[in-house]
Amino acid sequence: MPPEGKRIKGSACARAEAREQLRAELLTAARAIATESDGFDGITMRSVADRVGYTVPIVYQYFAGKRALLLDLVDVGFTELAEHLDRARCPTIQQREGGLLPATAMAYWQFAMADPHLYRLMHTLPEVPFGTADTSAPARACFEALRRAVAPEPGRQVHEWAHDEDAAADLLWAQLHGLVGLVLDGRVKGGGERGRLLLADLTRLFGSPTATASG
């Protein structure tokens, strides 16, 4: 990290990489502060600046304000969630979990439990578009992973949903989010250990999973 307030030097490419690295450090700092302070409500631009050893004006060069920082964190969260969900396509993971659907559900669960504050921010920050043309690419990727998980496949019977082709994915997201939220709020008997076991029953609501992974 360059000294506080010092201009980043080097080639245009090197400067761009340095700026992107600092931006990532600021976002990482915000996540760390949220973990320590039990959420993002108490985050300030000054607290983020202090964490990385920069002055507040430097932070404002990267984010117009706290909301802009939080919006970028939402995109980071959905990008990471999409990566987790994509790993469920691995045949080895599907074999272990019992199919694509339960593997996807487990990936979703593990992401939420690993960083609950970021997960909550992703789903509670006001005026973040979902289900519209303005939905971010990472959020759309997550939805596509859920839609893929409930798509008909050989050996698995699925319900017929009355509304539209996205109904099954929307309902899966709702069920997963509901279970995760109840566990995080301490509203499920048995806590996280039992909540994780309930995932198997949840996926059965959407059909009988195959015994082996598809190719």
- Per run of 10 residues, the mean pLDDT along the chain (length 215 residues) is 49 80 96 95 96 95 97 98 97 95 97 97 95 95 95 65 80 96 96 94 75 41
* Residue 108 near residue 27 (C-beta atoms within 8 A): no
d(CA 160, CA 167): 10
Q: Which residue intervals of the chain are DSSP H helices?
A: 12-37, 45-52, 56-60, 66-87, 91-97, 100-114, 116-124, 137-149, 167-184, 191-204
* Angle (CA) 121 123 125, round 5°: 55
C-beta separation of 34 from 43 below 8 A? yes
Token pair of 135, please?
A: 């939905």
Residue pair 114/175 in contact (Cβ under 8 Å)? The answer is: no
**What's the pLDDT score for residue 148?**
94
What's 109's DSSP letter? H
Residue 118 and residue 69 in contact, taking contact as beta carbons nearer than 8 Å: no
pLDDT of residue 185: 96
Would you list the domain boundaries of the chain?
12-63, 67-204
pLDDT of residue 161: 63
Domain 12-63 in CATH 1.10.10: yes
Q: Which CATH superfamily is domain 67-204 in?
A: Tetracycline Repressor, domain 2 (1.10.357.10)
Secondary structure (3-state) at 156: strand
What pLDDT does 1 receive?
42
Cβ proximity of 116 and 184 under 8 Å: yes
| Rounded Cα–Cα distance for residues 94 and 151 (Å) | 15
Report pLDDT digits (tens) over 131-142: 999 999 999 999
Other Cβ atoms less than 10 A from the Cβ of 82: the count is 20
Which pLDDT value is given to residue 6? 45
